[in-house]
């Protein structure tokens, strides 16, 4: 099953409301987290269930499935 992969070079947290990662909010298994708003999030591939929601909601298209 494919996992979400975050491209940190493409991530633009300022494009998310108040700098809070939209993919993090929408991820059903909390596979993404941020230390603080406007930080680039971390992604724990081991938790990912492959639902692709993060890919759809990320405004910067910084996440893909692989
Ligand atoms: S939703 Fe996308 S652009 Fe926004 S912080 Fe998360 S990975 Fe970065
Ligand atoms: S594909 Fe689904 S489970 Fe995996 S990180 Fe994205 S939103 Fe979370």
What sign does the dihedral 63-51-57-30 (CA atoms) show?
Answer: negative
Cα–Cα distance for residue pair 58/61, rounded to 1 Å? 5
pTM over 0.75: yes
Could you list the mean pLDDT of each consecutive 10-residue stretch along the chain, which spans 66 residues? Answer: 96 98 98 97 96 98 97
pLDDT of residue 1: 84
Centre of ligand 2 from the C-alpha of residue 48, in Å = 5
Going from the Cα of 24 to the center of ligand 2, the distance in angstroms, rounded, reads: 9
What's the pLDDT at 29? 98
Ligand 2 center to 34 CA (angstroms): 15
- Atom of ligand 2 minimally distant from the CA of 30: 8
pLDDT at 35: 95
| Domain locations in the chain as residue ranges | 4-65
Domain 4-65 has CATH 3.30.70.20: yes
CB–CB of 62/11 below 8 Å?
yes
């Amino acid at each position: 099953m494919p996992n979400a992969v975050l491209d940190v070079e493409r991530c633009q947290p300022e494009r998310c409301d108040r700098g809070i990662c939209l993919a993090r909010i929408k991820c059903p298994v909390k596979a993404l987290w941020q230390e603080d708003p406007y930080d680039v999030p971390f992604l724990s591939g081991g938790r990912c269930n492959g639902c692709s929601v993060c890919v759809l909601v990320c405004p910067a298209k910084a996440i893909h499935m692989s």
